[in-house]
Amino acid sequence: MFTGYAQRGIRFREAVGRLAETVQKRQQPEKTEKKIRLLLTGGGTGGHLFPAVAAAEQFVKGFPDTEILFVGTKRKMDAGILAEYGFNSAAVHCYGLKGKSLLKLVFALVSLPWAYMQSLWLVRRFRPDCILGVGGYVTGPVIAAGKTLGVACIIHEQNSLPGLANRQLGRIADRVCLSLPGPEHFFDAKKIVYTGNPVRESIRQLAKKTRPGNAEKCCLLVLGGSLGAEALNRLLPEAAALLPAAQKARLRVIHQTGVEREAGVAEAYKKSGVEALAEPFIKEMAEVYAQADFVVSRAGATTLAELSVAGKPAILIPYPYAADNHQKKNAECYVQGKGALLHVQEQLTPEKLAIEIERLLVDAKLRDEMSSAMKKLSSPDAAERIVACCLECIQACE
């Protein structure tokens, strides 16, 4: 499964271990009395949004006077989440290019000049010291505007295979921060800094706590991403229904379904005979991670980073239509590290999934081994590394 890495003699655990070594070799910039103005850009999903939140939290922790503006899409969920964290936001009108019909592609291309002009106006008005792009098509015009105006620009690639926007932006960005092994050959080696993928402070704190297990109940957390996943909404209740009665009695499920899907999923679990809580969107992820004994999830980079920091064993079902099948490549990194199991959606039946769930449900030793492996694959200090990288670029541009 990992032929590419094996041929190059690279193991994921070794690559993650080198992250700390790389950072130690870099000279840590001294703190400055100057008030920092940070512009973060990215969006479209929670997977892009939450690493930006984590980086912003770390900036504020180290430099309380930091002024932050997040420039993203017009997605209402983005603005709502950012407001809850106390961050200001603005939107740029632009559209993705990859995988679109001819008509939508033409429309997206025509919108780019307007998106660039909007970005120029926002950057001029906010006057940032640094722009950090965390992925997604909206980063393109914002980073381009920043470079036009002479602002230090850093991009962060979360996946093992970079997206179209970051591949192009890597040519003009001052630094390229990487989370996983794999994307190195897409970027100038002199710009690359291995940082890992930042997770929110609440989840990082969770990793420092020990939760007593519940011998009577075992909690399964189901995550389909911030938008939910129809396939998981169908597969999980069907698999739960196939479990032996004794295992049904031991299992408790928390399932993030996506908006307006929770009622149907809750009813399906009720029919299966398994205790379940169905939620459209889970805001306080640290709380549910604390309850979870193991997880069934998509393989978005941010979710995987959170699972590894929290040390949660996982059954991964990558989203099959992700660009360039990057979720499967993400998942393979964690499977190689022995923290997760991988199943391709097209080949997965409720029967197969029920077997895997029962396997983790009854084998506490296996869960503990996978949990330890997950933690070894984590980068809990990724946010600090990204902040250090941004500060270096700010100082270089002064």
Q: What is the pLDDT of residues 172-230, one digit of tens each?
A: 999 999 999 889 999 999 999 999 999 998 898 876 665 655 667 999 999 987 666 89
Give residue 23's pLDDT: 42
Residue 13 has pLDDT above 50, yes or no: no
The pLDDT mean for the chain works out to: 87
Residue 29 has pLDDT above 50, yes or no: no
Q: What is the pLDDT of residues 109-128, one digit of tens each?
A: 777 889 999 999 999 999 99
In the beta sheet, which residues pair with residue 193? 177
Distance CA 99, CA 371 (A): 36
Give residue 212's pLDDT: 56
Give residue 384's pLDDT: 96
Rg over CA atoms, the chain: 21
Residue 9 has pLDDT above 60, yes or no: no
The larger pLDDT score, comparing residue 155 to residue 229, is at 155
Q: What does the pLDDT average to over 59-76?
A: 90
Tokens of 150: 């002479």
Would you give the DSSP letter of residue 212?
Answer: P
Ranked by mean pLDDT, the top range of 39-48, 84-93, 117-126, 315-324 is 117-126
pTM: 0.84
Please name the helix (run of DSSP H) or strand (run of DSSP E) that holds residue 109, with its range, or none.
Answer: helix 102-126
> Residue 131 — very low, low, confident or very high, per pLDDT cuts 50/70/90?
very high
Q: What ranges in 217-325 are assigned the alpha helix state H? A: 230-241, 245-250, 262-272, 285-291, 301-310
Q: Which domains, and CATH codes, for the chain?
A: 14-198+380-397 (3.40.50.2000), 204-376 (3.40.50.2000)
Residue 25 has pLDDT above 60, yes or no: no
